[in-house]
Every structure is written in C-alpha cells, then in structure tokens.
A and B are shown apart, each in its own frame.
Chain A
Amino acid sequence: MTDEQRSAMAEKLRSMTPEQLAALQKEQCIFCKIVSGQIPSKKIYEDQIMIAILDINPAARGHLLLIPKNHYMIMPHVPDGEMAHLFVVAQKLSECVLRTLKVGGTSLFIANGQVAGQRAQHVILHVIPRKEGDKVLEFTDTLISSEMVSKVETAVKPTFFKHLGLGGDEPKNDGGNSEEKKDSGSTGVVHAALEPDAPHPEPSAYKEHSASGAVRDEGVVKKSAKKVVASKGIPVVSQDEKVVPKRKDDDVSLDDIANLFK
C-alpha cells in the first residue's frame, strides 16, 4: 500500500460508524472465514462456541488454535462464559495432545495485543505440544524487589476489584435478583470497563487507554524494565530443576507428567 492509499483508507475508516467498522473487520477476518468454512482448515474439534484447528505454521507438530466462533478482536471482548468454555475445552484437548502425541507437556497461550505477539485480528487460544529444549515460548524469570511487588499490588488491586465486581463495599453476591446479575455480570462488566475511551478498541488503542494510575505516572513499567536488566543474572527458575528422568517415549501418562515434579 502506498502512503496515499493508506491515508485514504484511514480517512474512510474514520468516517465509518462503529457498527460498520466492526462489520468490516469481521468481513476481512481470516479466522472468521475459517470458522465459516470459506477458508479450508484442518479441524479437529467443533462445538457451538468454538472450533479447534491445526496451525498451518506450527510451533510444533500438533499445535492447536482454539478459535471462538464469534469475532472478538481482543481478549477483553470475550464474554466470561466463552472464555471459560475455551479453557475447559483447551484442558481436554491438551490431554488429547499429551496422550496422542506423547509429548512431555503443553503450553496454553494467548497473545493479547500486538506487542504481546498477537498477529490475527481474532482472539486465539494456542495449545502447543512441548518438548524439552524445543525453543518455544522461551522466557526468563527475574527477581524483582519487594518495593516493586507492593507497587504493583497498590496499582493493580483497585482496578482488578472493579473488574471482579467488588467495589469498596462488601459484595452482594448471595441471593437476591441474581437473574439480572447474570446478564450484567458476564459481558456487562467487561464492556463497561472498556466503553469510556474505547468503544471498539484495536490492540493499539490500548496505548491511549492507560488510566491515570499512580504507577503509570511514575512510568514504573518502563523503569522497571531497566531494573530487570540491571539485576540480570538471577537464575532462571526452570533451569534449576532440569533433573528430568529420561523416559521412553511411548509410556507417557498424566501421572508420569505430574510425577516428574517429585
């Protein structure tokens, strides 16, 4: 796309209503086309809420993509019930992966936002078969100071409680008109939280979405990133525990996988 085309496109997008925009996104979404069957896929599971297919460019053989049938661009848009459903199905599929592919573990992974590695405009839950030393989803744990930990606590707690539906008051969760709460409870909370600044946020829209939280003002996230570098050399936790007994490939059971920890 040339710059001109791009700005013309941007102009066009600006003039659209949120509904039109959402429809356009859905129309263009590869994963919605996979769900509808317009694009062929290697489907291994389907129900009313989601499908699971093999990733065509997998991290490992048997890499599964769990895709909600509804078009949700980012994770906060996914209603509670569907989120829960995805993970419960993922648990079952993970077990199938362990059993069928005889791997030593699985990773369940969601990339939410571009900086987090989200490539598709549609929420996806990955189930990835794992083998020792496979160079998939590598990470390093770093020790952070107790001050940092409590800063995080102070900053995150109020918003987290808000999203849980727990205000300053004792939660009124028991009895009463729970029928109504069911409606507002599942999707309502999520959308209410997003609506003020971002009726139809894209992953990048979250940049502007940052609330006025104390931590944000101090730039703790950025600062601390430096701190981590400064205090590098703290051992990676997972590497301390590389006392993995060698097993034959074909006698993996769930108990074996769990027992490796003992």
Chain B
Amino acid sequence: MKCEYCEIVEREGKAPILYIDEELVVAIKDKVMAPGQITIFPRKHYTILEMVPELLIAKCSVVANKVSMALFESLGCQGTNILISNGLASGQSVPHFGIEVIPRIEEDKVGLTWEGKQLNDDEFEMTMRALVEDVKKAQAEKAKKVEKETAADAAAANSESAVLGKDVKVVDDSSRKSGEGKASGEAVTKAKTKSQAVPPLVRNIRRIP
C-alpha cells in the first residue's frame, strides 16, 4: 500500500499543498476532524515520531504554530489543537509522521478530550521513578552523541571548505549545551559563529518553484 503522504508529494492534485520545501510539506487533506484542519509532515518518509531527526521535528513544530496563527486569523476560529498521533494505538492512521493543526469553535463536536484518572501514590511513585531513570539514561546517551558530533564538526571545520561552504548544521543551542564546553580550536569557533548567524529552523524555507 502506498503511503498517503508520500503520494501527496509525488502526485500533483492529490491534495492541495500550501507549502513545500526540501524538508517539509504543509497540506490540506480531505479527511479531517474539522474543515480547516492542516497537516504538516516531513517530505521524507518517517513512520513514527521517534524516527524523525531533531531539526525536522523542530521545524515542523514551529511551522505548526504558524499554521495555527493563520487559522485564527483567516478562519476566525476560537482555538486550535496541535495533535501528533504516534503509533497505531494512538489512532495514527497514516504510516508517516505528521502534525495536525485543528481549528476549533464552540460546540464543534471535534472531541479530543479525556477523562482524568485518579492514581494512588504508589502508582505515581513507581511511574516517576521508572521514567526519571530512563530519562537520565537517555540524557547520558545524548551527551555522548553530542560529544562525538562536536568532535566530528571540529574535524570537518578543520578541513575548512566542507562546513563553511554550505549550511552549517544549525543546532538547537539548548540541546547542545552539554557538549559545548568540550569544543575547542579556532575552526570550531568559526563554524559556530557562522551557525549562529543563520536564523534557526526557518533557514531553508523557500517557495515552490
């Protein structure tokens, strides 16, 4: 079975594309929770959230906020929802990661609610401990990875042309922090200055030719 979102990119007229660049697509599907709903998805096929590169997640989320603002102004809706359904169990119906932006008006019957549950203290404690531990593990892994990448960046910067010529990897400062102190060398500094000069996230936005 062909992926519905990949088909939107490949087959003209499958669904109107509001915006497309090398990385992401903003389209209007005809199967929606409410008219005016807009879908943002990476141009490349990633099945679930966890497979999408960080920078792409970042860009998708920023664009989602802008779509949301546009819905307020152009449709006069009174609210919006941002929804990522991740995995079949969550109701994800297209096997291609995407963000839905749904315009909301009073009594629109869109749903998207839940009934809050009461958990006892033990359940909370257990859940918290398990998650905290796993998050710490993930953070440690991340720090290691960043360290490696920083070293690689430094090497690449030393070989001069490669990095400075094209788009330096724009790195979310905050997710980088852990590795930052370890970087050294003039070339790295140079590369960094360059990357800071590039506006984050929206650097590649271009209109459809």
Q: Which residues of A contact B (CB under 8 A)?
A: 42, 44-45, 47-49, 54-62, 64, 75-76, 78, 80-81, 83-89, 91-101, 103-118, 128, 130-132, 134-146, 148-150, 152-153, 155-166, 170-171, 173, 178-179, 181-182, 185-186, 189-190, 193-194, 203-204, 206-207, 209-211, 213, 215-216, 220-222, 224-225, 227-228, 234, 237-238, 240-241, 244, 254, 257-258, 260-262
Contacts and interface: CB of A to CB of B under 8 A. Distances in A.
A contact patch SS: helix
A210 to B, nearest CB: 3
Contact of A112 (B33, B35, B80): B80
For the side of the interface on B, what is the size category? Answer: 35 or more
B57 A87 contact: yes
A96 B89 contact: no
Contacts of A62: 127, 131
Contact of B115 (A135, A158, A211): A135
A144 B28 CA distance: 11
Given A109-B83, A157-B18, A225 B202 contact: no
A86 B82 CA distance: 13
Interface of B: 15-16, 18-19, 26, 28, 30-36, 38, 47-52, 54, 57-63, 65-93, 95, 102-106, 108-119, 123-124, 127-128, 130-135, 138, 142, 172-175, 177, 196-207
A171 B49 contact: no
B31 A87 contact: no
B130 A101 contact: yes
Nearest to B141: A92
Contacts of A134: 89
Contact of B202 (A149, A164, A234, A237): A164
Given A92-B138, A116-B79, 15 more contacts: A57-B116, A80-B62, A91-B50, A99-B134, A106-B86, A115-B108, A117-B79, A141-B31, A149-B16, A156-B38, A160-B19, A170-B207, A210-B76, A224-B34, A228-B34
A112 B68 contact: yes
A206 B105 CA distance: 11
